[in-house]
Amino acid sequence: MREIVFDTETTGLNPMGGDRMVEIGCVEIVNRVETGRHFHCYFNPERDMPFEAEAVHGLSSIFLSDKPLFGEKVEELLHFIEDSPLVAHNASFDFGFLNLELERCSRPGVSIHRMVDTLALARSRHPGAKHSLDALCMRFGIDRSHRIKHGALLDAQLLAQVYVELTGGRQIGLGLVADTGAIMVEQAAGPVTVREPRPPRPHAPLAEELERHRAFITKLVNPLWERFLGAG
């Protein structure tokens, strides 16, 4: 199954109050494995960048001033995400900004039914624990040492790994080939080792072993199976 893990950076927390999206990063995963395909873009928000927001992601008004408007890149973005489920951390926040930008371009918003929220997944699996992206990376042993500030593409790449762990990890499936009896070992990333089963080896007891077993049985007092002899 194809899914898109994405993250956004913005000028603030309130899209209805004038805050805008300034960066989006999308990572493609298929059957819970990253394919290497991604979409990443900065946007000119056509407004100033508050100091508090710049402190989080490091994107200044000067840096963004020559970047494209969202409407100039919307076709590329929609082509990349297609109709796949969209995975985000605290997804209602990112969906709110994404859909408002789409509305500004007179494009239909992304259906809430496509939303997968890793924050909700984390709260369900680990109630009472910390659920920030940093905390989840630490829980699952995901290297985040290169995350100095928030960045949409980097955070989407980290979140893709977190999402895999929250949904069961990278499972290996076993399939039996009926005509040869060979065992096929496959991972979501592709086939790996194929092994033929070993031939069966006999393990029959020796005569003296059987005799010792009979002698041991005769020493048992009121064995359970005697209660059922002759039953039926």
DSSP letters for 35-91: EEEEEEEE---SS---HHHHHHH---HHHHTTSPPHHHHHHHHHHHHTT--EEETTH
What is the distance between the alpha carbons of residues 15 and 132, in angstroms, rounded to a whole number?
21
Element (H, E) at 16: none
Which single residue is written with the structure tokens 């100095």? 148
Q: 186 in helix, strand or coil? A: strand
Q: Decide: helix, strand or coil at residue 109.
A: coil
For the beta carbon of residue 137, count every other beta carbon within 10 angstroms.
19
Catalytic residue among 57, 150, 203, 213: 150
Which residue, among 16, 41, 8, 24, has the nearest Cα to 104 in the 3D structure? 16
Q: Which of 5, 118, 94, 11 is nearest to 56 (CA)?
A: 11
Q: Is 131 a catalytic residue?
A: no
Q: Which residues are catalytic?
A: 150
